[in-house]
A and B are shown apart, each in its own frame.
Chain A
Amino acid sequence: QKEVEQDPGPLSVPEGAIVSLNCTYSNSAFQYFMWYRQYSRKGPELLMYTYSSGNKEDGRFTAQVDKSSKYISLFIRDSQPSDSATYLCATYNAGNMLTFGGGTRLMVKP
């Protein structure tokens, strides 16, 4: 079993829709949670970074962590075609390496 699981998609939504991307993880020691966005033919880039349970908002993006259920979510409001990318969740505990999920491919259609 992988330590971090993600539905690979693809997830196709119309422009303006609210998008929900999700990950589950198995190691309760994980403390830090990240979302990376990867455009086609590019390297991943950090989108959101959270520590502990709760919500963190940045513009149209909201990251949510529920440590009790080991569940990580990324919400995108008013989705745009420019949001079309692969979204990778990642997590780690202090002193250890990042563990990535497999990524979810998102397509936002005009």
Chain B
Amino acid sequence: DADVTQTPRNRITKTGKRIMLECSQTKGHDRMYWYRQDPGLGLRLIYYSFDVKDINKGEISDGYSVSRQAQAKFSLSLESAIPNQTALYFCATSEQTDNEQFFGPGTRLTVL
């Protein structure tokens, strides 16, 4: 069974729609992250959370919001999707004192 799961795996939506991407983990890690990946740009950090009550903006948080519903769940929302948010989105987790990050399988989002 996968340790970090993401739903949906693929999503096509229209400009202006609200979208939520969900991430769940069974690794028991405190730290969770949301990244987007674009060709040639690598992974860029959107938001991260060190525990349920701690939410921090990353490099590219504009246009996104997050919710840490529990230690195991971290959701990413696009309030009003736009075409340049078309990308691969990855959730990751890590232990509090270990910076190796474990990634989910990704969500491919297309905004038309």
Contacts and interface: CB of A to CB of B under 8 A. Distances in A.
Interface of A: 4, 6, 8, 32, 34, 41-46, 49, 88, 92, 97-98, 100-103
Nearest to A42: B105
B42 A101 contact: yes
A97 B100 contact: no
Given A43-B4, A49-B100, A92-B99, A103 B106 contact: no
Interface in B1-58: 4, 39-45, 48, 58
B42 A102 contact: yes
Given A32-B99, A46-B100, A41 B42 contact: no
Contact of A41 (B39, B43, B104, B106): B106
B99 A43 contact: no
A88 B42 contact: yes
A97 B58 contact: yes
Contacts of B45: 97-98
A88 B106 CA distance: 16
A89 B27 CA distance: 24
B101 interface: yes
Contacts of A44: 43, 90, 103
Contact of A100 (B43, B99, B105): B43
Contacts of B4: 43
Nearest to B106: A43
B103 A45 contact: yes
Nearest to B39: A8
Give the one of A6, A34, A97 with max B CB within 10 A. A97
